[in-house]
C-alpha cells in the first residue's frame, strides 16, 4: 500500500493500534482521549448558545409559513419536531443481542418521523434553505423579521425565488430535505446524488421538479460537483454539507426541543443522572450539530457518541488521527461500501471534527449485518421501522454497560449504570417505501 499522508500503514497502526481492527472492517469502540470538561471545550469554539437561540428563533419566525405549506406540521404549529419515546421492549432485545444486562433506561429520538422529509436532515437541511430564503427576502426589502412569514407562500415570493437556485451534494436524505423545501419556496434546485442514493429518493425529488444529477461515484465527488456548479453563479447557493455552520446550527436546535420534551415527561438529566446519546454519523454535520447543541444545553451531564458503519468509519479515523478532512477511509484501503446509505461517507467534515474534538466522548462502528439485525429487532419489539443507517446508534447501551471500555468510562466519570438514560437517535426511515422496507426486514432475518 502507498504511504498515507507521508507515513506507512505500520507507522499509523503503531500510533493508533485500534487501526488494526478498523482497516479489517471489524467492529470497534473508541474512547476519545481529548474529551474534556464541557465549559472549557465550548469556550474554545466560535459557536455558542446565542447562535443556537438565533437559529431557534428563525425557525419560530418560519412556523406560520411551514404550517401553511406543509399541513402535516400544523398539529405542532409549524414546528418540525420528532417524538421522543421509551422503548423498554427494545432494551430487553438488546440485552439478548449483547448478552449482558442493561441497568439504565432506553429511549429513541424518532427523527425518522420528522415531518416533511422523514430524517434528521429535516433539521439542518430545511433550516439552511429557510435561512437563505430569509436572507434574500431581507436584502431585497421584501420581508421584515416581525412580518407574518406565511406571506412567503404567495406567488409573488415564489416568482422572486425562481430567479435563484440551490445546489447540494447528497447520499440521499439531505437532497430530499433541501429539494423538497427549496422547490416549495420556488427555487430552482439541483441535487447531486452519489451512487449510494436510493432510486425512490431520486424519483420523489424529480416528481417535485428537482433536477437530480447522478454520479457513479461516492459522496465526496457529488459534493465537489455541486460546489463547482455553484461557483461563478452568484444566483446559486451551494449547501456545503462538509463546511456549513448554518446546517450545523439548524441541527443544534434539537437540543432545546429535547430539553423541553424531558421537562414534559418529568425526566431529570443531571450529573448523577447522565444522558448517553448515540448518533449515527456520516459526514458529521447532523450528529455534530445535535451533539453541540446537547453539550451547550446539558453540559457535562450529557455524553455523546458517534456511530458509523465498519466500512465507512471516516469520522473515527479523522478524529483519532487528528487528520480530519485530510484523510479518507479509502486512504486506508477501506471501501466505503455500506447498505447504510445515509452514512456512506469516506471523508469527514473537518469543520465538525475540529469543532467537536473535545466534546465527543467516543465513536463506535457496526457491521451492516448487525444494522439489519437491529432493524428487525426494533420492528419486532417496538413496531418502530427505521432505515439501516438509523440503527447505527443502538449498540451504544451494550458498549457502555457491557464492554470493558464502557465500564472504565463510567468509573472514570463516577457514574452508575442504573442511573443512565440511553438515547438512541433514530435518524431516518418513515419515508422509505413499504416494498423497500419489507426487503430490509427480510434481510434482518438472514
Ligand X SMILES: *Cc1c(COP(=O)(O)O)cnc(C)c1O
Q: Which residues contact ligand X (rule: CB under 6 A)? A: 119-121, 173, 280-287, 342-343, 387, 389-390, 427-428
Angle at the Cα of 197 from the Cα atoms of 194 and 198, rounded to 5 degrees: 160
Residue 283, C-beta contacts closer than 8 angstroms, at least 6 positions apart:
219, 241, 242, 314, 345, 347, 348, 349, 352
SS3 state of residue 364? strand
In whole angstroms, what is the distance from residue 287 CA to residue 279 CA? Answer: 5
DSSP state at residue 390: G
Nearer to ligand X, 12 or 30 (CB): 30
The distance of closest approach from Cβ of residue 60 to ligand X in the complex, given in angstroms and rounded to an integer, is 23
Residue labelled with grid coordinates 476519545: 32
Q: How far apart are CA 428 and CA 406, in angstroms?
A: 27
Tell me whether residue 115 or residue 280 sits nearer to ligand X (CB atom): 280
Report the residue number, 283 or 371, with the smaller CB distance to ligand X.
Answer: 283
Query: How many whole angstroms separate alpha carbon 94 and alpha carbon 410?
Result: 19
Grid coordinates representing 4?
Answer: 498515507
User: Least Å distance between CB 295 and ligand X?
Assistant: 17
Hey, how many other C-beta atoms are within 10 angstroms of the C-beta on 101? 9
51 vs 401, beta carbon nearer ligand X: 51
* Closer to ligand X by Cβ: residue 342 or 353: 342
Main-chain phi, psi angles of 424, to 5 degrees: -90, 125
Q: How far is CA 230 from CA 225, 248, 257, 415, in A?
A: 9, 20, 34, 49
- Rounded to whole angstroms, the Cα distance separating 22 from 13 reads 10
CB nearer ligand X, residue 279 or residue 297 = 279
In whole angstroms, what is the distance from residue 315 CA to residue 200 CA?
28
CB 220 → ligand X: shortest distance, Å? 12
Contact residues for 116 (Cβ-Cβ < 8 A; gap 6+): 66, 70, 72, 73, 80, 122, 126, 177, 180, 181
Cβ closest to ligand X, residue 343 vs residue 356: 343
Query: Among residues 230 and 338, whose Cβ is nearest to ligand X?
Result: 338
Nearest approach in angstroms of CB 368 to ligand X is 14
Would strands 29-31 and 362-366 be described as parallel, antiparallel, or unpaired?
antiparallel
Name the residue nearer to ligand X (CB basis): 179 or 282. 282
Is 66 or 386 the residue whose CB approaches ligand X more closely?
A: 386
What is the closest distance, in whole angstroms, from the C-beta atom of residue 349 to ligand X in the complex?
8
Q: Dig out the grid coordinates for 436 from the structure.
A: 423497500
Residue 287 or 353 having the CB closest to ligand X: 287
Provide, rounded to whole angstroms, the least separation between the CB of residue 116 and ligand X.
14
Contact 342, 173 (CB under 8 A): yes
Measured CA to CA, the distance from residue 124 to residue 241 in angstroms comes to 10
Shortest Cβ 345–ligand X spacing (Å): 6
Taking residue 24's Cβ as centre, other Cβ atoms within 10 Å add up to 10
Rounded least distance, CB 282 to ligand X, Å = 3
Largest CA distance in the chain: 62
* Least gap, CB of 196 to ligand X (angstroms): 11
Q: How far is the CB of 153 from ligand X (least distance, A)?
A: 27
Q: What are phi and psi of 167, to 5 degrees?
A: -125, 150
Smallest gap from residue 445 Cβ to ligand X (A): 22
Amino acid at each position: 500500500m502507498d504511504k498515507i499522508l507521508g507515513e506507512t500503514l505500520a507507522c499509523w497502526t503503531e500510533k493508533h493500534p485500534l487501526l488494526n481492527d478498523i482497516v479489517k472492517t471489524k467492529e470497534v469502540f473508541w474512547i476519545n482521549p481529548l474529551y474534556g470538561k464541557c465549559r472549557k471545550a465550548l469556550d474554545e469554539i466560535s459557536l455558542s448558545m446565542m447562535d443556537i437561540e438565533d437559529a431557534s428563533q428563525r425557525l419560530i419566525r418560519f412556523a406560520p409559513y411551514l404550517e401553511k405549506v406543509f399541513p402535516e406540521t400544523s398539529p405542532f404549529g409549524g414546528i418540525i419536531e420528532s417524538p421522543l419515546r421509551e422503548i423498554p421492549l427494545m432494551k430487553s432485545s438488546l440485552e439478548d443481542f449483547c448478552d449482558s444486562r442493561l441497568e439504565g433506561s432506553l429511549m429513541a429520538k424518532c427523527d425518522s418521523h420528522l415531518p416533511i422529509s422523514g430524517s434528521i436532515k429535516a433539521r439542518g437541511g430545511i433550516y439552511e434553505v429557510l435561512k437563505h430564503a430569509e436572507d434574500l427576502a431581507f436584502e431585497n426589502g421584501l420581508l421584515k423579521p416581525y412580518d407574518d412569514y406565511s406571506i412567503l407562500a404567495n406567488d409573488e415570493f415564489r416568482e422572486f425565488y425562481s430567479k435563484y437556485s440551490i445546489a447540494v451534494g447528497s447520499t440521499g436524505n439531505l437532497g430530499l430535505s433541501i429539494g423538497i423545501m427549496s422547490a416549495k419556496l420556488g427555487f430552482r434546485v439541483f441535487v447531486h446524488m452519489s451512487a449510494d442514493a436510493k432510486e425512490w429518493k431520486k424519483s420523489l425529488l424529480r416528481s417535485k421538479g428537482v433536477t437530480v444529477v447522478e454520479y457513479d461515484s461516492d459522496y465526496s465527488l457529488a459534493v465537489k460537483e455541486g460546489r463547482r456548479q455553484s461557483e461563478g453563479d452568484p444566483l446559486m447557493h451551494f449547501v456545503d454539507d462538509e463546511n456549513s455552520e448554518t446546517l450545523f446550527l439548524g441541527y443544534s436546535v434539537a437540543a432545546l426541543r429535547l430539553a423541553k420534551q424531558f421537562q414534559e415527561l418529568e425526566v431529570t438529566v443531571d450529573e448523577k443522572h447522565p444522558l448517553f446519546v448515540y448518533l449515527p454519523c456520516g459526514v458529521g454535520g447532523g450528529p455534530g450539530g445535535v451533539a453541540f447543541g446537547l453539550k451547550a444545553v446539558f453540559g457535562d451531564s450529557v455524553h455523546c457518541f458517534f456511530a458509523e458503519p465498519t466500512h465507512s468509519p471516516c469520522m473515527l479515523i479523522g478524529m483519532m488521527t487528528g487528520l480530519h478532512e485530510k484523510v479518507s477511509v479509502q486512504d486506508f484501503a477501506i471501501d466505503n461500501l455500506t447498505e447504510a446509505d445515509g452514512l456512506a461517507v469516506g471523508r469527514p467534515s473537518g469543520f465538525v471534527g475540529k469543532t467537536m474534538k473535545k466534546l465527543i466522548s467516543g465513536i463506535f462502528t457496526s457491521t451492516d449485518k448487525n444494522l439489519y439485525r437491529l432493524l428487525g429487532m426494533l420492528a419486532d419489539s417496538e413496531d418502530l421501522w427505521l432505515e439501516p443507517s438509523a440503527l447505527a446508534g443502538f449498540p451504544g447501551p451494550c458498549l457502555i454497560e457491557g464492554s470493558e471500555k464502557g465500564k472504565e468510562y463510567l468509573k472514570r466519570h463516577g457514574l452508575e449504570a442504573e442511573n443512565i438514560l440511553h438515547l438512541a437517535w433514530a435518524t431516518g426511515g418513515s419515508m422509505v417505501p413499504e416494498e423497500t422496507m419489507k426487503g430490509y426486514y427480510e434481510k434482518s432475518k438472514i
